[in-house]
C-alpha cells in the first residue's frame, strides 16, 4: 500500500507542478491561465493511487544561485551596452562606470533589506 501512496504523490507532482495543460488567455502570466477540464480530470486521478504521501521535491539552492548569477551578469552587461549606445556612443569605460552606478544605486535603496527578506522566504523550503 505504501508504494501506491508514493505513486499518487508522484502523479500529483507530475500533473500539478511539472506539466499542465491550460486554456490560453490574454494574461502574460501562464500560471494564471485556467487548467483545462481534461487536465483537471488527469490531476484528480492521483486519488486512484491511494493516500498521497512520501514525496518531497529536492531543490538545489546552489544550482539556482548559479543560474541567477549568470542571468544577473548578462543583464548587467546588456545594461552597460545600452548605456554606452544611448548615452555615450562608444566609450566602453562608460559602460563599466554605469554598472557601478547601478549597483550602488541598488545598494542604497531604503527598502533593500525588506526586499531581500521577502525574496528569501521564496527559497526557505529549498535544500542547499
Q: List, as one string, the DSSP characters of 80-128.
A: HHHHIIIIITT-HHHHHHHHHHHHHHHHT-TTHHHHHHHHHHHTTTSB-
pLDDT of 61 reads 66
Query: What angle, rounded to 10 degrees, do the helices at 92-107 and 61-83 form?
Result: 130
Q: For residue 102, what pLDDT is reported?
A: 94
pTM of the model: 0.50
- Flag residues of the chain having pLDDT under 70: 1-8, 50-61, 88, 125-128
C-alpha cell at 14: 507530475
What residue ranges do the domains of the chain occupy? 2-49, 61-122
Cα distance between residue 55 and residue 57, in whole Å: 7
- Residue 87, pLDDT score: 77
**Vertex 116: Cα angle to 112 and 121 (nearest 5):** 155
The reported pLDDT for the residue numbered 59 is 58
Amino acid at each position: 500500500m505504501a508504494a501506491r501512496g508514493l505513486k499518487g504523490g508522484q502523479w500529483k507532482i507530475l500533473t500539478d507542478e511539472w506539466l499542465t495543460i491550460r486554456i490560453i488567455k490574454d494574461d502574460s502570466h501562464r500560471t494564471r491561465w485556467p487548467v483545462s477540464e481534461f487536465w483537471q480530470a488527469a490531476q484528480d486521478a492521483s486519488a486512484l493511487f491511494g493516500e498521497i504521501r512520501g514525496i518531497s521535491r529536492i531543490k538545489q539552492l546552489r544550482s539556482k544561485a548559479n543560474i541567477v548569477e549568470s542571468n544577473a551578469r548578462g543583464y548587467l552587461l546588456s545594461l552597460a551596452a545600452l548605456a554606452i549606445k544611448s548615452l555615450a556612443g562608444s566609450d566602453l569605460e562608460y559602460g563599466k562606470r554605469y554598472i557601478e552606478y547601478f549597483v550602488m544605486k541598488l545598494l542604497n535603496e531604503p527598502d533593500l533589506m525588506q526586499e531581500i527578506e521577502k525574496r528569501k522566504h521564496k527559497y526557505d523550503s529549498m535544500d542547499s
